């Protein structure tokens, strides 16, 4: 295990740039939002200054309205599309004046990441001082979501692009994406010059992704206009679970810091409404799992994915529902010939074990699942998630994503020497 730990540290240091990390060379040459959160957890185990810098650099690109973009373009490079010239973040009046960024976000993990680095820290006084210096920015991000992304005031926020989910091209989105009448755009893909094109989204799928962004750009990234006009408007259990878990962490951290009773009260109000709506609206009794809700078309998206189990991490289900959820997990995702946890239902005709978020195992979702299972006392299954994660990496290398089929001998795909794979393995091996 020491060899794996040392390799993980080596990867994290190699992907470190001046004040931030890239997910991996060539394929992802910038700073990504939730990647940075997960990366900070790994750094906290051996280089706390880098962990803190990772977070503060990301927050330095926060918009004036509390929004945190999913990409911060610190440098110019032609190895990634769409880049800053496509996003044109400056269209929004509150956009960062310091950095070019994207105009979409990612799952809000920073709240619980601050809690994690405090847990790991050997100098908790110093770490708490750092947290005190940045926590209000994270709170502002939560305030943005609940005031700008919850038009029905139900405590569930929406995403307006599939990339905001973090599960970019999941089959979850097919019904929405394929119903769109998107133009045929002319552009040059860069990802397929680094990675086998069969593992990536198609050109036509990219047309749809760009079309959603063009609508947002046409209206200067106005939240009000996006809520009114975007063909993609979804309440995502993964996204909302990360927000709810981060609410919980902010409450705990503000309590430790002291003197923030008004913010604690507001967080508690958001939390109560969010958990209630989440359980009432997003749990599908027949499937025995949490599902996505298409807010634009007012319909349930009745598919099971790894996102379906993330509410365990945020303490959302009661004990009885958690038991039901875990039964679904093991029945559909946990067969003996499978590694936990495939990103999409292996029983589905839409399951593709090698294609990006359409089937492969992702280490960040496994980390979330592991911690959720531990919280509910599912010790045997959490151990299997941990063991499967370690085995996948030891067998294949530090890839971006992995084949869930145990019989596959070479099952590592996407980017190699991937930062959050290294970071979260390091954390799991220290638990």
Compute the mean pLDDT over every residue in the chain, rounded to the nearest whole number: 96
Q: What is the pLDDT of residues 296-321, one digit of tens each?
A: 999 999 999 999 999 999 999 999 99
Residue 201 has pLDDT above 90, yes or no: no
Residue 14 has pLDDT above 70, yes or no: yes
Interacting residues of 146 by C-beta distance below 8 A, sequence separation 6+: 155, 157, 270
Q: Which residue among 25, 94, 132, 168 is the active-site one?
A: 168
Q: What percent of the chain has pLDDT over 90?
A: 92
Can 168 be counted among the known catalytic residues?
A: yes
Stretch 352-375: mean pLDDT, rounded? 97
Based on the structure, what is the number of domains in the chain? Answer: 1
Q: What is the dihedral of CA 224, 228, 233, 237, to 10 degrees?
A: 50
- How many Å separate Cα 216 from the centre of its chain? 21
Stretch 350-357: mean pLDDT, rounded? 96
Residue 281 has pLDDT above 90, yes or no: yes
**Dist. CA 137–CA 104, nearest whole Å:** 18
Report helix, strand and coil shares of the chain as percent, to nearest 5.
55, 10, 40
Which pair of structure tokens corresponds to residue 431? 């638990």
Contacts by residues 318-327 (CB-CB < 8 Å, ≥ 24 positions apart): 319/376, 321/279, 321/283, 322/376, 324/288, 325/288, 325/289, 325/290, 326/373, 326/376, 326/378, 326/381, 327/288
- Its domain, for residue 25, covers 2-429
Residue 197 has pLDDT above 80, yes or no: no
**Dist. CA 22–CA 27, nearest whole Å:** 9
Residue 81 has pLDDT above 80, yes or no: yes
What integer pLDDT is reported at residue 189 of this predicted model? 64
Q: What is the pLDDT of residues 231-277, one digit of tens each?
A: 999 999 999 999 999 999 999 999 999 999 999 999 999 999 999 99
**5-19, 173-187, 388-402: which range is least confident on average?**
173-187
Q: What is the pLDDT of residues 217-235, one digit of tens each?
A: 999 999 999 999 999 999 9
What integer pLDDT is reported at residue 202 of this predicted model? 84
**43-52, 185-194, 367-376: which range is least confident on average?**
185-194
Phi-psi region at 95: left, alpha or beta (left = phi > 0; alpha = psi -120 to 50): beta
Q: Give the pLDDT band (50/70/90) at residue 192.
A: low
Q: What is the pLDDT of residues 20-77, one digit of tens each?
A: 999 999 889 999 999 999 999 999 999 999 999 999 999 999 999 999 999 999 988 7
* DSSP codes of every residue in 297-361: TTEEE---BGGGGGGGTTT-S-HHHHHHHHHHHHHHH--TTB-S-BSB-TTSTT--TTSGGGS-B
pTM over 0.85: yes
Q: What is the pLDDT of residues 161-170, one digit of tens each?
A: 999 999 999 9
Q: Which residue among 205, 388, 400, 427 is the active-site one?
A: 400
Side by side, which strands form the sheet with 292-294? 234-235, 292-294, 299-301
CATH number at residue 403: 1.50.10.10
Stretch 346-373: mean pLDDT, rounded? 97
């Amino acid at each position: 295990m020491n060899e794996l730990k040392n390799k993980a540290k080596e990867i994290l240091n190699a992907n470190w740039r001046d004040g931030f990390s890239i997910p991996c060379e060539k394929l992802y040459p910038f700073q990504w939002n939730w990647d940075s959160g997960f990366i900070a957890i790994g750094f906290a185990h051996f280089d706390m200054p880098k962990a803190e810098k990772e977070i503060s650099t990301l927050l330095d690109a926060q918009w004036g309205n509390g929004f945190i973009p999913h990409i911060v373009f610190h440098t110019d490079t032609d190895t990634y599309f769409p880049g800053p010239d496509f996003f044109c973040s400056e269209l929004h009046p509150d956009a960062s004046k310091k950095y070019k960024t994207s105009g979409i976000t990612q799952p809000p993990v920073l709240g619980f990441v601050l809690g994690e680095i405090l847990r790991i820290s050997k100098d908790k006084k110093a770490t708490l001082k750092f947290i005190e210096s940045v926590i209000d920015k994270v709170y502002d991000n939560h305030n943005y979501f609940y005031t700008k992304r919850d038009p029905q005031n139900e405590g569930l926020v929406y995403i307006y692009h599939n990339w905001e989910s973090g599960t970019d091209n999941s089959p979850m989105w097919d019904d929405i994406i394929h119903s769109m009448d998107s133009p045929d755009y002319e552009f040059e893909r860069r990802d397929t010059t680094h990675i086998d094109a069969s593992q990536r989204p198609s050109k036509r799928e990219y047309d749809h992704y760009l079309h959603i962004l063009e609508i947002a750009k046409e209206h200067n990234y106005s939240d009000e206009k996006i809520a009114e006009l975007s063909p993609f408007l979804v309440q995502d259990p993964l996204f909302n679970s990360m927000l709810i878990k981060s609410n919980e962490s902010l409450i705990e951290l503000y309590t430790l810091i002291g003197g923030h009773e008004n913010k604690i009260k507001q967080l508690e109000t958001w939390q109560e409404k969010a958990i209630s709506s989440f359980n009432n609206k997003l749990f599908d009794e027949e499937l025995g799992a949490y599902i996505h809700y298409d807010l634009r078309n007012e319909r349930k998206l009745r598919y099971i994915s790894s996102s379906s189990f993330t509410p365990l991490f945020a303490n959302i289900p009661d004990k009885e529902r958690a038991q039901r959820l875990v039964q679904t997990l093991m029945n559909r995702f946990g067969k003996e010939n499978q590694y936990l946890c495939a990103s999409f239902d292996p029983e589905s005709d839409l399951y593709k074990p090698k294609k990006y978020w359409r089937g492969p195992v992702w280490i960040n979702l496994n980390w979330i699942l592991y911690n959720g299972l531990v919280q509910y006392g599912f010790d045997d299954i959490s151990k299997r998630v941990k063991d499967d994660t370690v085995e996948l990496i030891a067998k294949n290398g530090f890839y971006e994503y992995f084949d869930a089929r145990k019989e596959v001998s070479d099952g590592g795909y996407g980017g190699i020497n991937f930062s959050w794979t290294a970071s979260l393995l390091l954390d799991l091996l220290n638990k």
